[in-house]
Structure 1
Amino acid sequence: MTYLLFVVGLVALFFGGEYLVRGASAVARHFRLSPMVIGLTIVGFGTSAPELLVSVQAALAGQPAIAIGNVLGSNIANILLILGVSAVIAPLLIPVRKLWRDLGFMLAATATVWFMLLDGQVTRMEGAILAIGLIAFLTTAFLTGKVDEEEATLGDIPQWKAWAMTLGGLVVLVIGARLLVDSATEIARAFGVSEAVIGLTIVAVGTSLPELATSAIAAIRKQTEIAVGNVVGSNIFNIFSILGITALITPIPADPRFAAIDMPWVAATAVGLTILAVVLGGLPRIAGVLLLAAYGGYIVLTGI
């Protein structure tokens, strides 16, 4: 039964990602927003919904290692695994002129949460600071995300249908991710795997599967701005929204390994993506292969 749920989850992720990308692209055209902004906001937040649900549930259940490990592991997987797979499928363009503010937000969020983890806890006050960062990010994204009217094409999909496809795709993605995470976690616990490892790997990758499905399908459909914006937006939401909201609900104790071992990887991947965006203007296929190799190195070197 567990394996059947795993397969059903995979199918749900595929179809959910397909409809989400098509719907989000149409929404962007209707509101004359760039696909990058839709990827950073609607798609980024929507595909981060599983992380939010899992982290809040874990924190309330007295499993803080899963809550924090889920966010940090997801941010690492988003760049190394998801962008790696997407770049192998199709080279990704990263328009720095459109994305520089958002890359800055990602770097700022990463540095902020690293500082917060140093004392072994994310407090309610720190959660409020992270939530304020989320509001600032959303405000900036929508204020600067309009495209010129002559650049906008409205397309043939009615607005109601575009929103229905977007929201329906998000719902299916969340359901699929939930099925996958539950079944994989059950198997891991049967083999005696620790909560920190489960949070950093199975739960983190499992809750990142909506991002993987969405970015991979966006790459196949040549919607590279959505593929990249989805990952950058998700990384920002993971820190500002998920850790912020979770800490507001209940302070989160932090295992020392997160600040000492995992945060350097989170920071390195964020800085590395920014450098690649500035120097190369995107991710060629060879960069995708290197990102996937780096993710394998992370799994091995951190002792997971």
Structure 2
Amino acid sequence: MEEIRTEIVLWFSVIIVIGLVALVWSADKFVNGASAIAQRAGLTPMMIGLTIVSVGTSAPEILIAIMSAWSGSGELAVGNALGSNIANVGLVLGITLLVKSISLNQNTTFIDLPLLVLVVIVTGALLFDLTLSRGDSFVLLAALGLFFLHIIRNGQHSSGESEATPIPSLSPLTAWLTFLGGLGLLIVSSRALVWAASQIAAALGVSELLIGLTIVAVGTSLPELAASVMSALKGQADMAIGAIIGSNMFNLLLVLAIPGFWGTLSLQAEVLHRDLVAVFVTTLVLALAALYGWNRQAGVSKLTRNTGAVLLALYCAYYLWLFATP
């Protein structure tokens, strides 16, 4: 019996790995196709970057949330949203800072990071009763709308090459085929991943929340890890930290909101007392480190390797806490 269960877990693990690879690849194609179509429709590169590309980079988490809610596995979506946030700051940014220190501009230090801390606090307040209702989801979605207004306003006051998002040069037919093909594979791969994750949870006798917090969350954060490390090495620090802040905002305000639209979802107490606490602590440490590293004369804040080590240590401590929790 034990051998059969091990074999089942192994096969479903293979499906999860294949699903994650297909999910990331199809998200990239979806963004490329959508960006090319939007460019031909007259949207500026800045607006494409602020809308399509921003949403597209969170497409795996969004599709997983939709498929999880549709399949009655809302806890998997909640675990993915919160686990991805913890992984983005503790694992992704922690490792990135160990590779190279990052300098943050004034907006990121004094507006974006404090805003992210505020969003975490609001999320905790909404989930304090251990339920995620439609009302909670609408509040999160409204906050997402305000966040969009914020980034659009910031984009309108930005200048230079940072406004431009590289857009692939595709013919109209190729753009539509890439867009539709990417979207189709996104749907199929996310559905397969959610199904496999649910089967593993059942086979191991663990909650779907735990699977979402670990396997699925880390898997969907690996592309951000690779992109952030490469951005830091190339001296594109704003891109690295911007991707993490943007992804975490979308996870809390959109991905987390999705299961609530299918009906009120009851949450485990650990979501509030353990997982949201971990999201808050890692986010707060990052924001405080940015404020502490502010250099008024240079007009930048420096996040050092020491900060990276602290964030990575917090991430490891969370995992120990996660598996020590009954």
Instruction: Bin the TM-score by the shorter chain.
Output: 0.7 to 0.9
Alignment match, 2:73: 63
Alignment match, 2:317: 297
Alignment match, 1:85: 95
- SS of 1:93's equivalent in the other structure is strand
Correspondence for 2:291 among 275, 278, 298? 278
Matched to 1:230, the amino acid is: A
Bigger Cα displacement from structure 2, 111-120 vs 47-56: 47-56
Distance in structure 1 (CA, Å) of the matches to 2:71 and 2:62: 14
Asked if residue 128 in structure 1 is aligned to residue 138 in structure 2, the reply is: yes
Change (3 A) 1:294 1:176: farther
Alignment match, 1:200: 213
Correspondence for 2:269 among 246, 250, 256? 256
| Runs of 5+ unmatched residues, structure 2 | 1-10, 294-300
- SS of 2:129's equivalent in the other structure is coil
Q: What is the TM-score normalised by the length of structure 2?
A: 0.73
Change (3 A) 1:127 1:2: closer
Correspondence for 1:243 among 227, 231, 256? 256
Q: Residue 20 of structure 2 contacts residue 220 of structure 2 at CA under 8 Å; is this kept in 1?
A: no
Change (3 A) 1:122 1:99: same
Alignment match, 1:52: 62
Matched to 2:263, the amino acid is: T
Matched to 2:161, the amino acid is: A
Instruction: Give the CA deviation at 1:215.
Output: 2.0
Asked if residue 152 in structure 1 is aligned to residue 138 in structure 2, the reply is: no
* Per-residue Cα deviation, 1:96-155 (whole angstroms, up to 9, x for no partner): 334533223312221111111111211111111111101110011011123555x33898
Change (3 A) 1:20 1:277: farther
Bigger Cα displacement from structure 2, 115-124 vs 92-101: 92-101
| Runs of 5+ unmatched residues, structure 1 | none
When Rg is computed on C-alpha atoms for both structures, the one with the higher figure is: 2
Correspondence for 2:234 among 213, 221, 231? 221
Instruction: Give the CA deviation at 1:47.
Output: 2.4
Distance in structure 1 (CA, Å) of the matches to 2:62 and 2:130: 21
Matched to 2:309, the amino acid is: V
Alignment match, 1:115: 125
Matched to 2:67, the amino acid is: Q
Identity %: 34
- SS of 1:145's equivalent in the other structure is helix
Matched to 2:78, the amino acid is: I
Instruction: Give the CA deviation at 1:67.
Output: 2.1
Distance in structure 1 (CA, Å) of the matches to 2:238 and 2:31: 11
Change (3 A) 1:43 1:155: closer
Q: Residue 90 of structure 1 contacts residue 220 of structure 1 at CA under 8 Å; is this kept in 2?
A: yes
Distance in structure 1 (CA, Å) of the matches to 2:56 and 2:28: 14
Instruction: Give the CA deviation at 1:300.
Output: 0.3
- SS of 1:101's equivalent in the other structure is helix
Distance in structure 1 (CA, Å) of the matches to 2:26 and 2:230: 10
Equivalent pairs counted in the alignment come to 298
Superposition RMSD on alpha carbons, in Å? 4.2
Q: What is the TM-score normalised by the length of structure 1?
A: 0.78
Matched to 1:91, the amino acid is: S
Alignment match, 2:5: none
